[in-house]
Amino acid sequence: MITCTPDIGVEMPFTPLPYAELRERAAAACATIEVLKEHGLPEEVLEPDAADRARIATIVNSFAEDEAKTNEILTTAKFSNLPPAVLVGVHETLKDFSHAVVKQATQIRHLVTNKLILETSNPDPRVRIKALELLGKISDVGLFTDRSEVTVTHRSTDDLKSNLQEKLALLRKKANEIEITDVEMRELGVKTVQDEAQQ
């Protein structure tokens, strides 16, 4: 038997519950069921009957069709009223779906790689070259990928200051060496005010 002593005077937060997504709700419900099992929840309650299996299928199918709509319709209050067998079934099915996608992606990757390896012995040289090129582009191989290296040199503030002072001194020296000569405007082909007055 679990004895719960409520805390009196604790303010309830007005923020929405953190389990807004069906996967999160199902995981939280299953964690609660695990605690209840440790304190005597009978295993028979977790065995789904035909009606429970139908509910699980309906919830999971609607979630697969439109996640947002299912999350909106199946509120936390509605979800918490489902029998424990349905809660566990929904959680397990959604967990299996996510693992299945990863497994299938890995299987497809292996299938494509193996097919490309078979095509490397094709009698047509164009097919062989294309298969080899695609095999080289696989991220694990990375043979034909463009790589750019960035080298970052960390220098102290004192080094940077001295480097800047050296460059400024060099620029001042060059500026002093430049001979500045006045060029007559007439040599440039530009008429001055005096030229216009003389005409």
> What is the rounded distance in angstroms from the CA atom of residue 90 to the CA atom of residue 46?
12
Interval 75-121: pLDDT, tens: 878 888 888 898 898 888 888 777 666 667 777 788 788 888 888 88
Are the beta carbons of 94 and 63 closer than 8 angstroms? yes
> What is the rounded distance in angstroms from the CA atom of residue 93 to the CA atom of residue 89?
6
> What is the rounded distance in angstroms from the CA atom of residue 155 to the CA atom of residue 143?
34
> What is the rounded distance in angstroms from the CA atom of residue 26 to the CA atom of residue 43?
18
Question: What does the pLDDT average to over 166-181?
Answer: 76
Q: Is the pTM of this model over 0.75?
A: no
Determine the residue type at 69.
K
Is it the case that residue 18 has pLDDT exceeding 70? Answer: no
Categorise residue 96: left if φ over 0, alpha if ψ from -120 to 50, beta otherwise. Answer: alpha
